[in-house]
Amino acid sequence: MLNPITRADFLRLTAMSASLLLIPNLARADDNEITRDMILSDPDAPVAGNPDGDLTIVDFFDYNCPYCKMAAKSLEKIVKTDGNIRLVYKDWPILAETSIVGARLALGAKYQDQYLPVHHALMDIPGYGISQEQMLNAVRKTGVDQPRLDADMATHADDILRLVKRNLNIAEAIGLQGTPGFLVGAYKVNQALNYDGFVRVVADARARAKSSK
């Protein structure tokens, strides 16, 4: 009784109690609602990791964000080592003009199932203020079918834009201030994390999910 509760304990305790109250069903959605479904299962949003994972991480990022790129390495690592995490990518181009270019390239490549290679190629360009040339060069090296990518980006321009707009709305709704943003289970983390940080949040999120079963 002499030990003060740490924040992590508080999260666990709160989550443990709170999640009991939150039936894991999805609340009925009314007009203009941002539903959990939209956040977690937007059919247009690219997904990686284990599709049947017990925990979903939603990644809000920008191809001009240096810390997203730092955190992405740790994120990919934990998704891989954990093996039971489903990862949802939310392209959230907010930092610079070329951010939209990057998002369109990656989301356009999705139509030939090349989202992940293009995404990783773009995330591997270090720094911020990436030029369009740099992005195109990186994408070329992935071996993506370029004429097809051009065609898809034109044909599906509206779909891509709508997806991005949805992502913008979601990010605003959940109060993200900037990039990167992560939803790990029910928890929002609006900053870059290292591997250990991800391990901790994942554990907390699992504890919450577990207690609600």
Partner 1 sequence: MPYVRILGFVTLLLRLVMAAIGPVVAATPIPADHAFQLRAQLDEEEGIELNWIIAPGYYLYRDRIVVTLDGQRVRTVTEKGEPKDDPNFGLVEVYHGNGTATVPAELLPEKGRIIVTYQGCGENTICYPPVSKTVDLVTLLIEEAPAGGGSVPAAVASGGNQSGVAADVATWGPSQASGTATEAGMFSGGLVSTVLAFLGFGLLLSFTPCVFPMIPILSGMLARAGDRLSLTRSFVLSASYVVAMAAAYGTLGIFVAWSGENLQAALQTPWAVLAMSAVFIALALSMFGLYELQLPQSWTAKLAAAAGNKGSVGGAALLGFGSALIVGPCVTPPLAAALVFVAQTGEVARGSLALFALGLGMGLPLIAFGVLGAKVLPRSGAWLARVKHIFGFIFVALAIWMASRALPVALTATAWGAMFIAIGLYLDVPSLLETPRWRSASLARGAVGVLALFYGCVLVIGAALSDYGPLQPLVTAGLVASADAKGADGFQVVSNEADLDKAIELGRQQGRSIMVDFSADWYTECLLMERNIFAQDAVRQRLRGMLLIRADLTHFNASSKNLMQRFAVVGPPTVVFLNPDGSEITDARVVGDIGVSGFLGRLAKVSRA
Q: Does 119 bind partner 1 (CB under 8 A)?
A: no
The distance of closest approach from Cβ of residue 185 to partner 1 in the complex, given in angstroms and rounded to an integer, is: 9
* Binding range to partner 1, per CB under 8 A, among 1-9, 77-85, 110-118, 142-150: 1-9
* Binding range to partner 1, per CB under 8 A, among 58-66, 81-89, 110-118, 147-155: 58-66
Q: Does 158 bind partner 1 (CB under 8 A)?
A: yes
Q: Does 175 bind partner 1 (CB under 8 A)?
A: yes
Q: Does 154 bind partner 1 (CB under 8 A)?
A: no
The distance of closest approach from Cβ of residue 8 to partner 1 in the complex, given in angstroms and rounded to an integer, is: 10
Q: Which of 29, 132, 141, 143 binds partner 1 (CB under 8 A)?
A: 29
Contact 127, 140 (CB under 8 A): no
* Binding range to partner 1, per CB under 8 A, among 26-34, 74-82, 136-144, 146-154: 26-34
Give the separation between CA 194 and CA 202, rounded to whole angstroms: 12
Give the separation between CA 5 and CA 26, rounded to whole angstroms: 31
Strands 47-49 and 187-189: unpaired
Give the separation between CA 171 and CA 178, rounded to whole angstroms: 9
The distance of closest approach from Cβ of residue 57 to partner 1 in the complex, given in angstroms and rounded to an integer, is: 12
The distance of closest approach from Cβ of residue 187 to partner 1 in the complex, given in angstroms and rounded to an integer, is: 6
Of the candidates 124, 137, 3, 148, the one whose C-alpha atom is nearest the C-alpha of residue 68 is 124
Own/partner long-range contacts of 126-132 (Cβ < 8 Å, ≥24 apart):
126/66, 126/69, 127/66, 128/64, 128/65, 128/66, 128/95, 128/96, 129/64, 129/96, 129/98, 130/63, 130/64, 130/96, 130/98, 130/102, 131/98, 132/98, 132/101
Q: Does 100 bind partner 1 (CB under 8 A)?
A: yes
In the bound state with partner 1, the residue whose beta carbon lies nearer, of 112 and 207, is: 207
In the bound state with partner 1, the residue whose beta carbon lies nearer, of 154 and 177, is: 177
The distance of closest approach from Cβ of residue 117 to partner 1 in the complex, given in angstroms and rounded to an integer, is: 21
Give the chain's radius of gyration (CA, Å): 18
